[in-house]
């Protein structure tokens, strides 16, 4: 039974815990055992908080036994990206610049999860400060469970790895240009970047104040819905957080996609896609059509600028945020992070403002898109997971001998530039070898996470991609 527990989604575990068929202690021990077995080769966790987890699980067990059940995360383990501050627990940001930082405050997201009774397993690896190489970041690369020579992408790399390898049932990632959705795509799990302001950024180390989001990374859409409901809502500690009412996302899941209009862009988002990705995503859209959705064509005329304009905004803000650390200890940074922060010093104020004006254009264009559809579907990533860089290639964005485009990014950066909610879920695997995940991404209207969750859940319920296990 204990071995089997790690393969169950959080919602299923919650049912077992609530009915007292399984104790939170048993669940926690099952995950700790799997972490001990597999983390040495996957490097998903930077810190394992086994003692904290065990005491949290025992407390949950006592509370539930005495009839004080807090809800669907009570006694359920989780692990956040190690960029969310946890009071009294080392928070490294994946960096040798801050390797021993022990915050004296708690991020709002982890505070809310703790309040819901979730059990902290530890802190997960990431690309340094959410923008590094992974390979040369402070704690080395996480590895993709589908093939250990491959990258889990990032920057929430440890979250993608840990979920795909069943080291945790739930995680929190952060997303400034795609850092929740890109590892979700590379690792074949669920990544939700909700509307900007829906979830507090308090206690999340900044990459870009205006683009950062912290959101759920899970094995199933229903688990993402449960997690979002708990972490969402106004937070006085984050002035950009929204007072928009938080609906019951789980209740919305059962609505299906009948008569829902799904927009498929006629340009940009599929361009240059791996043929297997293109075919799988279009097949997924076709399946939604057979489930009752109406497929309509849409266009985002300036989508190709989302990546480049977003990069200017993100890196200009990051360079401002890290100014002091970069001046005092440049040699401690991942060489790629250092290069990105230093090159950003040569962007002009005009470049930055122009990036913000492109944001207006993209927001307007997406508002027009949602006049003719309810959800927009695009590939989660146009490419399959790539091999981990060697140490030379990892040092710079300028790859020797590479003829590939510098950076594309629009499929995900669009969500950060517009603030719109987006969810990435598995929709296939490449033929291989190695067999690697393929994903589809759904965009929705502002604060309408319920509709993208419902669409994703309808697709997931009709397929079994999310049940596949990597060959570990």
Question: Does position 289 bind another protein by CB under 8 A?
Answer: no
Nearer to another protein, 21 or 364 (CB): 364
404 is catalytic: no
Residue closer to another protein (CB basis): 133 or 168 = 133
Beta-strand pair 170-175/213-218 = antiparallel
Within positions 16 to 55, which residues make up the interface with another protein, using CB under 8 A? Answer: none
Find the shortest distance in angstroms from Cβ 355 to another protein. Answer: 7
Among residues 125 and 242, whose Cβ is nearest to another protein? 242
| CB of residue 441 to another protein, shortest distance in Å | 19
Stretch that binds another protein, among 108-116, 148-156, 183-191, 195-203 (CB under 8 A): 195-203
- Give the residue among 265, 235, 240, 469 at the shortest CA–CA distance from 376: 265
Contact pick of 397, 462, 467, 469 for another protein (by CB under 8 A): 397
The contact pattern for another protein, residues 322-351, with x = CB under 8 A and - = no contact, is: -----x-----------xx-xx-xxx---x
* Residue count (the chain): 472
Task: Please name every residue paired with 173 in a beta bridge, in sequence order, or none if there are none.
Answer: 215
Among 178, 145, 133, CA closest to 307:
178
Asked whether position 312 contacts another protein by CB under 8 A, the answer is yes
The answer to whether residue 446 forms part of the interface with another protein (CB under 8 A) is yes
User: What backbone phi and psi angles, to 5 degrees, belong to 464?
Assistant: -130, 25
Choice between 90 and 302, CB closer to another protein: 302
Q: Residue from 201, 359, 454, 457 that binds another protein (CB under 8 A)?
A: 359
Q: Which of 326, 188, 228 is nearest to 10 (CA)?
A: 228
Is 294 an interacting residue with respect to another protein (CB under 8 A)?
no
N-terminal to C-terminal alpha carbon distance within the chain: 19
Query: Does 79 interact with another protein (rule: CB under 8 A)?
Result: no
Among residues 155, 156, 157, 208, which one is catalytic? 155
Question: Could you tell me if 74 and 14 are in contact, meaning their C-beta atoms sit under 8 angstroms apart?
Answer: yes
- Interface with another protein, residue 354, by CB under 8 A: yes
Site string for another protein, 412-441 (x = CB under 8 A): ------xx----------------------
Nearer to another protein, 290 or 350 (CB): 350
Candidates 69, 70, 210, 463; binder of another protein (CB under 8 A) is 210
Burial class (CB in 10 A: 0-12, 13-18, 19+), 303: buried
Q: Does 263 bind another protein (CB under 8 A)?
A: no
Q: Is 262 in the site for another protein (CB under 8 A)?
A: no
Q: Which is nearer to another protein, 69 or 347 (CB)?
A: 347
Catalytic (active site) residue 179:
yes
Among 89, 361, 461, 472, indicate the residue that binds another protein (CB under 8 A): 361
- Residues with a catalytic annotation lie at 81, 155, 179
Binding region for another protein (CB under 8 A):
195-197, 209-210, 240, 301-302, 304-305, 308-309, 311-312, 327, 339-340, 342-343, 345-347, 351, 353-361, 363-364, 366-367, 370, 396-398, 406-407, 418-419, 445-447
């Amino acid at each position: 039974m204990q071995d089997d527990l790690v393969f169950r989604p959080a919602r299923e575990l919650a049912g077992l815990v609530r009915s007292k068929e399984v104790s939170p202690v048993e669940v926690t021990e099952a995950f700790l055992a799997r972490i001990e077995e597999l983390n040495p080769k996957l490097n998903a966790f930077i810190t394992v908080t086994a003692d904290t987890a065990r005491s949290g699980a025992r407390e949950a067990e006592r509370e539930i036994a005495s009839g004080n059940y807090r809800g669907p995360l009570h006694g359920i383990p989780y692990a956040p990206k190690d960029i969310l501050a946890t009071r009294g627990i080392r928070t490294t940001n994946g960096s040798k610049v801050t390797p021993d930082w022990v915050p004296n405050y708690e991020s709002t997201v982890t505070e809310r999860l703790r309040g819901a009774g979730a059990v902290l397993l530890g802190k997960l690896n990431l690309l340094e400060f959410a923008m590094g190489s992974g390979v040369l970041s402070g704690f080395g690369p996480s590895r993709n469970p589908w093939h250990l020579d491959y990258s889990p992408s990032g920057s929430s790399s440890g979250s993608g790895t840990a979920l795909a390898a069943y080291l945790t049932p739930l995680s929190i990632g952060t997303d400034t240009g795609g850092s929740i959705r890109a590892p979700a795509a590379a690792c074949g799990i669920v990544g939700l970047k909700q509307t900007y302001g829906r979830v507090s950024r308090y206690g999340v180390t900044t990459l870009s104040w205006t683009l950062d989001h912290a959101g759920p990374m899970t094995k199933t859409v229903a688990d993402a819905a449960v997690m979002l409901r708990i972490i969402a809502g106004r937070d006085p500690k984050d002035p950009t957080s929204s007072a928009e009412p938080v609906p019951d996302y789980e209740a919305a899941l059962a609505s299906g996609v009948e008569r829902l209009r799904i927009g498929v862009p006629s340009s940009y988002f599929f361009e240059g896609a791996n043929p297997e990705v293109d075919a799988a995503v279009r097949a997924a859209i076709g399946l939604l059509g057979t489930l009752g959705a109406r497929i309509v064509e849409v266009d985002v005329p300036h989508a190709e600028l989302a990546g480049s304009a977003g990069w200017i905004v993100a890196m200009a803000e990051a360079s401002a945020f890290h100014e002091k650390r970069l001046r005092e200890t440049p040699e401690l940074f991942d060489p790629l992070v250092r290069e990105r922060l230093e090159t950003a010093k040569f962007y002009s104020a005009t470049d930055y403002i122009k990036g913000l004006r492109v944001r207006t254009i993209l927001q307007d264009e997406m508002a027009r898109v949602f006049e003719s559809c309810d959800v927009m579907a695009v590939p989660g990533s146009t490419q399959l997971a790539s091999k981990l860089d060697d140490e030379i290639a990892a040092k710079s964005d300028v790859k020797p001998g590479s003829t590939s485009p510098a950076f594309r990014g629009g499929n995900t950066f669009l969500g950060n530039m517009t603030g719109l909610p987006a969810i990435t879920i598995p929709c296939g695997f490449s033929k291989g070898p190695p067999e690697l995940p393929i994903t589809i991404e759904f965009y929705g209207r502002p604060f309408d996470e319920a509709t993208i969750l419902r669409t994703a859940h309808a697709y997931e319920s009709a397929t079994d991609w999310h049940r596949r296990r990597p060959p570990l």
